[in-house]
């Protein structure tokens, strides 16, 4: 793959090639923990991938082979309700990033080598697919380090692995290896570390062969019940976009622009 770097970031890397965007958390010295700067840059990169018509699939990964992401950077966690940015302002913006990944109308694949822990574990969870290296380790640490994600981190985990297992993961704060993660339905496949990128790209290329609209609507459908009315809004937005592409939808707009009554009678009432 002839990856091309895009943009200038401090905490992440953004590459694109052959219809795939690869977004890398680039703080290996702290096992790719995220601070507000990291989350802001991730949100910029995901927005770029969202708007880029040449991108059909997005990979989220971490730099190096020791960690995908170790969650919120505990060294900048303040006492005032969040993680401090360079100005000392507290943030909890990883929740916006989680929703942005879910609302991005293209498949997002977590490519996990090493630790996916704490908020980093939730990040892989909110991705559509997870390809794990055989050295991957998964777990939540919140109750041990004075934190919890009672939103998607709890609810989505329960949907993925079942309620009892999700409670075990959160209440005991154990770590699980890649094979255990596979057997509980937390990841899609496990491959030797040396084959991680190749395997992930293979999955991406397979998805790129398929109808982008079908993948887009399916993703919205899979998220709709978990996200409640906001999920239905996302799913329904696809219906509106498709309706705008029909002569029937266009007749309403054209009639209004032409200052005449719309003629919807010519459109069939399909059974």
Copy the structure tokens of residue 200. Answer: 């992930």
Copy the structure tokens of residue 266. Answer: 């010519």
Cβ atoms of 231 and 220 closer than 8 Å: yes
Phi and psi, residue 4, nearest 5° = -110, 125
Residues 32-61 vs ligand LW2Y6JES: string with x where CB under 6 A? -x----------------------------
- List alpha helices for the chain, DSSP H: 36-51, 94-103, 119-126, 142-145, 152-161, 163-172, 178-183, 196-208, 212-224, 228-244, 247-257
Q: How far apart are CA 60 and CA 101, in angstroms?
A: 10
Closer Cβ to ligand LW2Y6JES, 186 or 235, answer by number? 186
Minimum CB separation of residue 18 from ligand LW2Y6JES in Å reads 32
Residue 234 touches ligand LW2Y6JES, criterion: CB under 6 A: no
Among 10, 17, 54, 75, binds ligand LW2Y6JES (CB under 6 A): 75
Copy the structure tokens of residue 153. Answer: 């981190």
Minimum CB separation of residue 12 from ligand LW2Y6JES in Å reads 16
H or E element, residue 8? none
Residues 130-149 vs ligand LW2Y6JES: string with x where CB under 6 A? -----------xx--x-x-x
Residue 57's contacts (CB-CB under 8 Å, 6 or more residues apart) are 19, 20, 21, 106, 107, 108, 109, 204, 207, 208
Among 31, 102, 103, 106, binds ligand LW2Y6JES (CB under 6 A): 31
Among 6, 95, 160, 182, binds ligand LW2Y6JES (CB under 6 A): 95
Q: Annotated binding residues, as ranges?
A: 31, 70-74, 83, 115-119, 140-142, 147, 244, 259
Q: Annotated binding residues for substrate, as ranges?
A: 31, 70-74, 83, 115-119, 141, 147, 244, 259
Q: Which residues bind ligand LW2Y6JES (CB under 6 A)?
A: 30-31, 33, 66-67, 70-75, 83, 92-95, 115, 117-119, 141-142, 145, 147, 149
């Amino acid at each position: 793959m002839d990856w091309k770097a895009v943009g200038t970031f401090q905490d992440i890397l953004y590459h694109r090639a052959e219809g795939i965007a690869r977004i890398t958390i680039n703080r290996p010295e702290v096992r790719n923990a995220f601070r507000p700067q990291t989350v802001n840059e991730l949100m910029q990169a995901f927005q770029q991938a969202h708007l880029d018509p040449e991108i059909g699939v997005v990979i989220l990964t971490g730099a190096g082979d020791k960690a995908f992401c170790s969650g919120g950077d505990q060294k900048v966690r303040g006492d005032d309700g969040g993680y401090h940015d360079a100005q000392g302002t507290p943030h909890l913006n990883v929740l916006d990033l989680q929703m942005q990944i879910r609302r991005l109308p293209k498949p997002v694949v977590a490519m996990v080598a090493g630790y996916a822990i704490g908020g980093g574990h939730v990040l892989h969870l909110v991705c559509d697919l997870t390809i794990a290296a055989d050295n991957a380790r998964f777990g939540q640490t919140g109750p041990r380090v004075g934190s919890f994600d009672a939103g998607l981190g709890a609810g989505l985990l329960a949907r993925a692995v079942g309620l009892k297992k999700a409670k075990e993961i959160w209440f005991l704060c154990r770590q699980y290896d890649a094979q255990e993660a596979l057997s509980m339905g937390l990841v899609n496949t496990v491959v030797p570390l040396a084959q991680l990128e190749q395997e992930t790209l293979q999955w991406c290329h397979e998805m790129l062969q398929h109808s982008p609209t079908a993948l887009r609507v399916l993703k919205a459908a899979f998220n709709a019940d978990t996200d409640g009315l906001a999920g239905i809004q996302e799913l329904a937005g696809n219906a509106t976009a498709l309706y705008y592409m029909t002569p029937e939808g266009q007749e309403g707009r054209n009639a209004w622009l032409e200052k005449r009554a719309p003629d919807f009678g010519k459109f069939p009432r399909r059974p």
